[in-house]
A and B are shown apart, each in its own frame.
Chain A
Amino acid sequence: QKEVEQDPGPLSVPEGAIVSLNCTYSNSAFQYFMWYRQYSRKGPELLMYTYSSGNKEDGRFTAQVDKSSKYISLFIRDSQPSDSATYLCAMSGGYGNNRLAFGKGNQVVVIP
């Protein structure tokens, strides 16, 4: 079993729809959970950062962490064509040197 599982998609949605992304993980020591957005041929950009279980909202983005189920989610409300990108989940806390474990990334396409 891989440490972080993320369905690579692609996921196509119409503009204005809610985008729902998720990752599962196996390492119960993970405490820090991140979502990154990566546009084609660019480096990843940190979108959301959450410590331990709970919800975090930032504008149209909501991140949820359920440590009991080892499941994290990212929701994008009122999706825009500019949200079209690859979204990577990442997590850490299980290592002594701040290494991140990444999911494969989920490609999202928002159709105008």
Chain B
Amino acid sequence: GAVVSQHPSRVICKSGTSVKIECRSLDFQATTMFWYRQFPKKSLMLMATSNEGSKATYEQGVEKDKFLINHASLTLSTLTVTSAHPEDSSFYICSASHRDRSSYEQYFGPGTRLTVT
């Protein structure tokens, strides 16, 4: 299998607070983890790519100081939305590349729905 979990599945927070989302590969070691956000009826927008032990590579237009990514181990990556605002409300999804499979296969987590009030 190639199971990826995310926690929490949904979170509601007040404007100005920070929220941490965890992404874990449960039954495999992930060489690379990716963070996406998805708006209703829209496709996935890649935010950043991270390799274990390295700094994340952010896509153009994504604020690295606002969306902090930590990839502490081969099975865990975290995304922290700092000083969240209502416009940060979205569906955040992580994915992971399996170390023993093609690096182009990505396995996705179930997503985290963030609502900022």
Q: Given A36, A51, A92, A93, which contacts B108 in the complex, CB threshold below 8 Å?
A: A36
Query: Which residues of chain A have C-beta atoms less than 8 A from B95's C-beta?
Result: 43-44
A-contacting 9-mer, from B14-22, B39-47, B63-71, B76-84: B39-47
For chain A, what secondary structure do more than half of its interface residues adopt (helix, strand, loop), or is it mixed?
loop
State the CA gap A51–B102 with chains docked (Å).
10
State the CA gap A43–B46 with chains docked (Å).
14
Query: Which residues of chain A have C-beta atoms less than 8 A from B28's C-beta?
Result: none
Query: Which residues of chain A have C-beta atoms less than 8 A from B111's C-beta?
Result: 41-43
Contacts between chains A and B (CB distance < 8 A), count: 61
The reply on A68 being an interface residue by CB < 8 A is no
Query: Which residues of chain B have C-beta atoms less than 8 A from A32's C-beta?
Result: 102, 104
Query: Which residues of chain A have C-beta atoms less than 8 A from B74's C-beta?
Result: none
Verify B93–A43 contact, CB threshold 8 A.
yes
The reply on A77 being an interface residue by CB < 8 A is no
Interface centre among B34, B93, B103, B104 (most CB of A within 10 A): B104
Query: Which residues of chain B have C-beta atoms less than 8 A from A45's C-beta?
Result: 108
Verify B43–A43 contact, CB threshold 8 A.
no
| A 69-112 to B, binary, CB cutoff 8 A, 1 in contact else 0 | 00000000000000000001010110001111011110000000
State the CA gap A45–B4 with chains docked (Å).
10
- Contact-size category for B: 20 to 34
For chain A, the count of residues having a C-beta within 8 Å of the partner chain is: 24
- A49 (CB) vs chain B CBs: closest residue: B105
Restricting to B1-47, which residues have a CB under 8 Å from any CB of A?
A: 2, 4, 6, 32, 34, 41-44, 46
Q: Given B32, B97, B105, B109, which contacts A43 in the complex, CB threshold below 8 Å?
A: B109
Verify B106–A102 contact, CB threshold 8 A.
no
The reply on A34 being an interface residue by CB < 8 A is yes
Verify B108–A43 contact, CB threshold 8 A.
yes
State the CA gap A98–B43 with chains docked (Å).
18
- B4 (CB) vs chain A CBs: closest residue: A43
Q: Given A8, A46, A97, A99, which contacts B107 in the complex, CB threshold below 8 Å?
A: A46
Q: Name A residues whose Cβ lies closer than 8 Å to a Cβ of B.
A: 8, 32, 34, 36, 41-46, 49, 51, 88, 90, 92-93, 97-100, 102-105
